[in-house]
Amino acid sequence: MSSPTWYCVNAARERLGPMAAEEIRRRFESGELQRRSLVWQAGMAQWLPLEAVAEELGITLAAESPMPPAMPAAPMAAAITAETPRAPAADAAMAQAYAASSRDASAAGGIDAADVVDAGFLRRFAAFIIDSFLLGIAMWAIIFLMVLLLGLGTAGIATMFESSASGGAPEGPLLWVFVIGFYVLPILMQGAYHIVFTASAWQATPGKRVLGIKVVDQDGQRLTMWRSTGRWFAAALSYLTFYIGFLMAAFTDRKLALHDMIASTRVVDQWAYTANPERQQRGLGGCGIAVVVGGLVMGLLFFVGILAAVSLPAYQDYTQRAKIAQVVAAGRGMTLGIDGFRLQTDRCPASLEEAGLVEPSSELVQSTELGEVDAGQCSLRFTLGGPQAGPYDGEYLWFTQDAEGAWACGGSMPDRLLPADCRG
């Protein structure tokens, strides 16, 4: 059997090979290849119709179909360019022959099939925005369904949003939903999404598909599932480099990101390596520009929303702490008056009037109570209320004096709102 050095183009415009002459002959006899099907082997200056090399291939053509002379170089180069996708170079000789055919086609007014348009950073970034948006919708839909199935209701959804924005974690059943929804689910969904779509007939995720780009190997072929999986895992390095690995696509020669270099892949225009390479687009396009601008605006709004979600509660806590601190300071001053009364009478005052005290002027205080909780232990209690109390309406601050005369303070509100020495 002869060595597999032949290449051919079938009726579906697919380049096949290398293969032996016997395989070419078998495909011709089965009808897969015709007399005018293009073939090539190392050493030939250009692609030729099968009938031109029938004798060398050991193919006997019918007598009523005499073999025409070989076509001129320039028209034949135009034919292979218009009929077949760009063939990856099997060796240096084939690369030179194919490049020569492309130059002849260009001179004859044909399409330069050797020109492959790599997808630039902005097109890839726009595709990333679309994919992230789709994944985000799917992720929140699953989280919402999980919360409903657990019977946690709308309050559970609100808690999830608040926890996500503040960086904290809920408790109880919501904790598991939080861990799965924000840590496990995104990894599983992104992996399945990128691996399956990239290895599919689309050769692209939906975002890349919308932007008219696809992922191929170094020979322009569709990725296998294994290579697609390896490419996705390699993308982790681009994340670990603080996205520098992704930014490399903006300034590398062939627009390669770090994970493309590791996995030996390229992101190219969807018409590259097809029968219509002339349809490739070099620019971003109106759709891509709209996606990039919209993504940047949405990203800015999202950042502002997260900042507001984190800073507004913190600011509210700060203002509440300041108001509570004023009440605590007023209470400390009042304890001095209670100490004076006790020194004179050896008992706790029964009311503010008896101790010669007045209620604090703070708008946060709704009522003040003074009395004795146990034998010899005085107690001062402030109940918060009114428009200034906000979520702490009905909460209280208290001061108690032990038998030795030392005062302790505390409150029913969260410890973070109390002065350090009043926390439990």
Listing DSSP states for 164-177 in one string gives HHHT----THHHHH
User: Quick one: average pLDDT of 118-141?
Assistant: 86
Tell which wins on pLDDT, 99 or 329: 329
Q: Which residues contact 336 (CB under 8 A, 6 or more apart)?
A: none
At residue 102, does pLDDT exceed 50?
A: no
Across all residues in the chain, what is the average pLDDT?
74
Q: What local confidence, expressed as pLDDT, does residue 145 receive?
A: 77
The span from the CA of 69 to the CA of 291, in Å, is 54
Angle at 124 between CA 123 and CA 128, to 5 degrees: 120
User: Quick one: average pLDDT of 46-61?
Assistant: 84
What percentage of the chain reaches a pLDDT higher than 90?
A: 8
At residue 146, does pLDDT exceed 60?
A: yes
At residue 249, does pLDDT exceed 80?
A: yes
The span from the CA of 332 to the CA of 407, in Å, is 9
pLDDT band of residue 254 (cuts 50, 70, 90) is: confident
Tell which wins on pLDDT, 289 or 275: 275
Tell me the residue ranges of DSSP E strands in 225-313. Answer: 265-269
pLDDT tens digits, residue range 10-52? 877 777 878 888 888 888 888 888 888 888 887 777 778 888 8
pLDDT band of residue 265 (cuts 50, 70, 90) is: very high
What percentage of the chain reaches a pLDDT higher than 70?
A: 70
What angle do the packed helices 121-149 and 285-345 form, to 10 degrees? Answer: 50
The span from the CA of 268 to the CA of 282, in Å, is 10
At residue 283, does pLDDT exceed 80?
A: no
At residue 198, does pLDDT exceed 90?
A: yes
Burial class (CB in 10 A: 0-12, 13-18, 19+), 172: exposed
Tell me the residue ranges of DSSP E strands in 63-222. Answer: 213-217
pLDDT tens digits, residue range 311-358? 666 677 777 778 888 888 888 888 888 888 888 888 888 888 888 888
Helix or strand or coil: residue 214? Answer: strand
What b/e readout covers 348-385, taking b as 16+ CB neighbours within 10 angstroms?
A: bbeebeebebeebebebbbebebeeeeeeebbbbbbbb
The span from the CA of 28 to the CA of 10, in Å, is 10
pLDDT band of residue 109 (cuts 50, 70, 90) is: very low
For 97-101, 105-109, 161-165, 338-342, which range has the lowest pLDDT when averaged over its residues?
105-109
Burial class (CB in 10 A: 0-12, 13-18, 19+), 309: middle
Helix or strand or coil: residue 396? Answer: strand
Q: What local confidence, expressed as pLDDT, does residue 196 receive?
A: 92
Domains and CATH numbers, the chain: 6-107 (no CATH), 121-283 (no CATH), 313-422 (3.30.700.10)
Q: Which residues contact 204 (CB under 8 A, 6 or more apart)?
A: 127, 197, 198, 213, 214, 215, 270
β-pairing verdict for 48-49 and 265-269 = unpaired
Tell which wins on pLDDT, 361 or 129: 129
Q: Which residues pair with 381 in a beta bridge?
A: 369, 398
At residue 80, does pLDDT exceed 60?
A: no
For 111-120, 166-175, 231-240, 374-383, which range has the lowest pLDDT when averaged over its residues?
166-175
